[in-house]
Amino acid sequence: MKCVQIQVRGKVQGVWFRASTQRKANELNIKGIVKNLPNGDVYIEAEGEENDLDNFTKWCHLGSDHSRVDNVMISEMEIKSFENFKIVR
């Protein structure tokens, strides 16, 4: 089990990025949160098995259909034992 924080920069707000992130996380059995940041980035905390997290972070580099991902910053963090994956407003 591993937990990472991810910050995605680009055209990632107003393009269903958070909903698509939640859908992908549920597909991969990833738990955590996703939220928009005031600077236009999207912030994610994701927890799961290493292989699933690798696939999830690869998806973050691609993003949702109408998004444009310019940069993805990933760093490990302490496990938080999330119950599910939710969108935080």
pLDDT per residue as tens digits for the range 16-67 = 999 999 999 999 999 999 999 999 999 999 999 999 999 999 999 999 999 9
Evaluate whether 48 touches 31 at the Cβ level (below 8 Å): yes
Question: Does residue 36 have an active-site annotation?
Answer: yes
Q: Which residues constitute the domain of residue 30?
A: 2-88
Q: What is the pTM of this model?
A: 0.97
Choosing from 18, 26, 51, 84, the catalytic residue is 18
What is the predicted pLDDT for the residue at 15? Answer: 96
CATH number at residue 36: 3.30.70.100
What is the predicted pLDDT for the residue at 57? Answer: 98
Choosing from 23, 26, 29, 36, the catalytic residue is 36
CB-based contacts of 88, cutoff 8 Å, min separation 6: 33, 34, 35
Question: Does residue 23 have an active-site annotation?
Answer: no
Number of folded domains that form the chain: 1
